[in-house]
Structure 1
């Protein structure tokens, strides 16, 4: 009942109370009193006894009047403290998947879109001159010892999704690396780079591949500097980007490449359109997958606008994770998941890896640090099992996981709904909604 309703109730109550007392007083004074031969004092006592119910009703009216006149000190304070989630509206997004909006929810996961521009350090602001120079350097094979490979050889951004679709990247002299090349798209939003997270910025990362003996094979950073200085065509570009009085150094070379990489962003995805307000951007299956992505706990690692806890949007401590968290010989042995320990000590039973971004993940097979998995549904099954401890099964009764801690000598039973094949498919189609429209069109055309 609202405050206006309470006031109306008060007015009616007061009128009834006055009428009731008047009738009672008349009955005692002129009928019951004379019949009982009561003296005046006893007549008043009889009136009070018979009117006790009216007295109680009067007290209630006084309490109600107090609450109405001082709402902030009484009702509203308690209501605010105990406020439950309030369903404010229900929207039917499509035939199969309804959606509700809740207000007042605590700690709800907030879905966010990717900004159009990646942040840059104060000492290296992004300028058109640096971007143009960086793009040229990024595609220049002169940065490799035999002039056969450029950055774009493993991170193809003109025709591909920013990687090379190889399990192990191919370096100079036909050498194979030991890890899968991650996409360079949206790398400007990552706080740490490389699979093991050893580089704290794009500028630092850009210095690594040229002098890696397996990748581009240059003997030193000084040799990289000299290679660029020896090319007269670069002098004017460096002068425009950094000033005519500045020498060409590895600091400037890496700064220009980083500036270019910060422009390689993809915000043209169905997911981004949906979060911006286009509620028809995602299909029913993608919405189910989005809900599962949250409820299964994928967002605990792949969070924020860039779908990575290693991004600039999240605290640095969230940048790396143990892998695998839950032992699963079926997957660990089949895909050699622990052969490379990443940032952990060699020989460790668990590796430590930087959390990769999932943007454009449907376009960047093969997957994982070693490129051992070539299809996205299998990756979803692996991650659900070894990182989230989920059971992947179509049997609804297969919902128990037994966990033994040899260190603590404790046993725990966890009950949760298994992840069905349909659930896996729904998560996969949601991940496909993270693909850039232009990159997807390019991949379909083979351009």
Structure 2
């Protein structure tokens, strides 16, 4: 780790501000200009392939335009869209934290209500065929409704309630009419939010420049060895796909890697004490009974089964993309691993064996050096374009700031 000026540190080649703002070397984050043509640039990016990624397949009825993207950004940051006007989409998907949330294992909704799952990054969400880790939605145009009405998220009494709210807000007057064929409605809200999220494309990583542009200097020796392990002995590529012209690093399928099953065993039979980190590097054992006395009861999570009700789908979760994984911790569907090395160790041990374990999961017998090389490769999947996406996101002060 190398300390550099302005309170910035380099971790595995990625520059991170100590205040919690994510930066990539060579791409300084500057104050956003509200008069700039950011939405035009975002629309172009959503319409043309980015190095390493395929062209986005936009719905015919929702092609990207600067106006839609700008309106979607406004909705994404508007805290008035929650029941008590305190929560926005961006409060769980924080631009400066890779459009994820570094601080929390699982998300927190209005009034501090507990959410079972980690808030994943929305970077490159355009390339998922199904949404949420259990695949319960299939379109960015409709995905937004679930968080709006979930009692432990934004807690609105109904989606129609939000439509009426937007119709009453003066600063939205004419905004939907200017971009669609009418005022606020469920489908138009979804189209605007989807248009903005499909503009959050982050490719052009060192890996992409090495593989798709032939730049041998883009990866160092450790990262190249890690790629060899990724495609070979470790077998990661069987689920995190690399194709001839692009790589989205997911098969968009559901797998039981043993993690969900293992976490359920822990939930049912908790340890007497739990290690609690009260400050960096300062950990105390706290009795489970004490934690339970001040906590909401932990709920089970059966993954894909909760959508299909098929017993064969228990503990299966959607394969996440690994793009920008080094800057979007914590990891797993419940944020149970804080660092990439924890994830790699889990896979190296063969997940957690039980009857439903996916046959591709097995002990890998990787050395410590192998694990370091794999982690080095994963840092090469970080896009240098993220600071620009942060800048675009902050083109205006969020509504109800």
TM-score for the superposition, normalised by structure 1: 0.61
Quick one: distance in 1 between partners of 2:362 and 2:101?
41
Q: 2:251 aligns with which of 278, 292, 309?
A: 309
1:292 equivalenced with 2:229 (yes/no) = yes
Distance 1:126 1:286, change over 3 A: same
What do the CA deviations read for 1:389-445 (whole angstroms, capped 9, x no partner)? 9xxxxxxxxxxxxx9989xxxxx9x998721111111110100001122448999xx
SS of the equivalent of 2:317 reads: strand
TM-score for the superposition, normalised by structure 2: 0.68
Kept in 2: contact 1:160–1:442 (CA 8 A) = no
Kept in 2: contact 1:135–1:257 (CA 8 A) = yes
Distance 1:236 1:441, change over 3 A: closer
Shift of 1:160: 2.0
Quick one: distance in 2 between partners of 1:208 and 1:293?
35
Quick one: distance in 1 between partners of 2:387 and 2:340?
16
Kept in 2: contact 1:116–1:265 (CA 8 A) = no
Quick one: distance in 1 between partners of 2:388 and 2:65?
29
Match of residue 281 from structure 1 = 218
Kept in 1: contact 2:207–2:380 (CA 8 A) = yes
Shift of 1:232: 2.3
Would you say how many aligned residue pairs link Structure 1 and Structure 2? 300
Distance 1:332 1:150, change over 3 A: closer
Superposition pairs of residues 282-431 of structure 1, within 5 angstroms? 282-295=219-232, 296-304=234-242, 305-310=247-252, 319-324=253-258, 339-344=300-305, 350-386=314-350, 418-431=365-378
1:217 equivalenced with 2:155 (yes/no) = yes
Match of residue 40 from structure 2 = none
Kept in 2: contact 1:117–1:263 (CA 8 A) = no
Work out which of the two has the higher radius of gyration on C-alpha atoms and give 1 or 2: 1
Quick one: distance in 2 between partners of 1:309 and 1:137?
30
Kept in 1: contact 2:53–2:248 (CA 8 A) = no
Superposition pairs of residues 29-428 of structure 1, within 5 angstroms? 114-115=52-53, 118-157=56-95, 159-165=96-102, 166-243=104-181, 246-275=182-211, 276-295=213-232, 296-304=234-242, 305-310=247-252, 319-324=253-258, 339-344=300-305, 350-386=314-350, 418-428=365-375
Unaligned residue ranges in structure 1 (runs of 5+): 1-111, 311-318, 390-402, 407-411
Shift of 1:326: 12
- Aligned CA RMSD, in angstroms, stands at 3.4
Unaligned residue ranges in structure 2 (runs of 5+): 1-49, 269-298, 395-401
Kept in 2: contact 1:326–1:385 (CA 8 A) = no
Kept in 2: contact 1:133–1:256 (CA 8 A) = yes
Quick one: distance in 1 between partners of 2:185 and 2:362?
58
